[in-house]
Structure 1
Amino acid sequence: MSLLDKISPFERKDLLIAWLVLGVAFTLGINGGFALLTDYQNITVEGLLITFLVSLIAVGLSFVLHELAHKFTAMRFGYWAEFRKSTQMLIIAVVVAAITGIVFAAPGATLINTAGREMTKKENGLISIAGPLTNLVLIIPFIIIMIIGFMMSPSTGIVLFTLPGFLFYLGLIGFQVNAMLAFFNMLPVGPLDGKKIMKWNPVVFGVVIAVSLVLLYLALVPTVILSLFV
């Protein structure tokens, strides 16, 4: 049985819906929310389509692989696990992005059924850390794509409607999305991954959240990395 066969049709539908809605939310967030209304003259259909495409690619890889990492790690321990979307949180994500330009990405969760078996702290911690670690690993190819786009761009600057511009934009957004997802999920509050990881191993929690914070800073200030290639 392949990995895809372990994803039920119902789960695939929920992942697809969450993926598309988050793509819309990130498109609104990247364009500044109300800027679509207040500064609509400077926003083109082509620009929105490229932003939506980039958001789909970045969010698709970042979000879907994050949730599947939780799922397959849980299954390695013999548990049933499936992602379930939260319609309410998806609506909130779009509304908040439209109003504030900030994306609150909590589209649902991977539900785990232990079938009556008590899950250990280590199992819970490893299942939880699989998601943020996946995002941290995904940062590497997105940084490479961003740098390639930057190096291919002419000395006059980066132009979005070109291959170098698209690669740079895709790499940058992918870098930022994965850094945000990793750090946000590492916060030790509520149902987030960080709380479970900290209960399992505070040292591992401290290292991963510190790395996530540094990478989030670099993602929001990418000139720090790009200055090495000038």
Structure 2
Amino acid sequence: MERRSWREVVFAEISEPLSWILGILSITVALGGSQISNLYFYISPIFIGIIVGFVSHEYMHRYLSRKYHMVSRYTANVLGVLITLVSALLPIKLLMPGYVKTWALGPTSRKGILYSVAGGPITNIVIALALFVASFAFSSTFYFNFLRTVGWVNAYISLFNLIPIPPLDGDKIIRLDIVLWAILFIISLALVFII
């Protein structure tokens, strides 16, 4: 059996089905904190927001990459999962368990790359806005707060991913279209504070 160096282990990529599970679990721990030991947490708006926000964000990256003739798959990485888990102890949650790995088989348009990168944060913004607006339709405090919390988690996922630091989406978007990045960042920031 071949021994692997610590660098190979820490920066290793994980197969797609296991990557989805590790991504969801690590973000759940980061955002749920000590609440994850409570069974009621798994029907809470935070947990539902994590599932809806994380899966739709990464799926949209993958979908748009494939639509623009690129090969893609979601892959977790050991270092990203560890950073996400450790952030459970921090006031700011670092949600970076993995990414959609994309590569082109031939010529790829700049527009296709931009859309595939921006698609994740835009999806979270649309979900957050829709739930914010929908929350006004309910007089019940429970439903109002439930929709707002799921919306807030989506806004946070979008805002975090729009930070212009590699390897986050914001770094790629700002290099491709700074105006689009600014619009998305301002909307996400506003949603985090108003929801």
C-alpha spacing 1:119/1:189, structure 2 compared with 1 (3 Å)? farther
**1:211-230 superposed Cα distances (whole Å, 9 cap, x missing partner):** 112112213xxxxxxxxxxx
Amino acid of the structure 2 residue aligned with 1:186: L
Amino acid of the structure 2 residue aligned with 1:108: G
Amino acid of the structure 2 residue aligned with 1:152: S
Structure 1: unaligned runs, 5 residues or longer: 1-9, 37-44, 154-163, 220-230
SS of the equivalent of 2:132 reads: helix
* Separation of aligned partners in 1, 2:168 and 2:87: 20
* TM-score, with structure 2 as normaliser: 0.80
Answering whether residue 158 of structure 2 is matched by residue 182 of structure 1, we say yes
C-alpha spacing 1:170/1:23, structure 2 compared with 1 (3 Å)? farther
SS of the equivalent of 2:53 reads: helix
Answering whether residue 170 of structure 2 is matched by residue 170 of structure 1, we say no
**1:90-130 superposed Cα distances (whole Å, 9 cap, x missing partner):** 23222221x22432111100001213x34443222111110
Write out aligned runs for 1:20-39 (5 A). Answer: 20-28=25-33
Of 31, 35, 51, 1:60 maps to 51
Amino acid of the structure 2 residue aligned with 1:107: P
**1:188-221 superposed Cα distances (whole Å, 9 cap, x missing partner):** 22122122222222222222211112112213xx
* Separation of aligned partners in 1, 2:67 and 2:110: 15
SS of the equivalent of 1:182 reads: helix
* Amino-acid identity (%): 22
**1:3-47 superposed Cα distances (whole Å, 9 cap, x missing partner):** xxxxxxx52332123112322221107x6xxxx9xxxxxxxx7xx
SS of the equivalent of 1:209 reads: helix
SS of the equivalent of 1:142 reads: helix
Write out aligned runs for 1:136-147 (5 A). Answer: 136-144=125-133, 146-147=135-136
Amino acid of the structure 2 residue aligned with 1:187: I
Report what 1:226 is aligned to. Answer: none
Report what 1:111 is aligned to. Answer: 101
CA contact (8 A) 1:121 1:199 kept: no
Q: Which has the higher contact order (CA 8 A, sep 6+)?
A: 2
C-alpha spacing 1:202/1:91, structure 2 compared with 1 (3 Å)? closer
CA contact (8 A) 1:58 1:170 kept: no
* TM-score, with structure 1 as normaliser: 0.69
Aligned-residue RMSD, C-alpha = 2.4
C-alpha spacing 1:206/1:25, structure 2 compared with 1 (3 Å)? closer
How many residue pairs end up in the alignment?
A: 180
C-alpha spacing 1:26/1:82, structure 2 compared with 1 (3 Å)? same
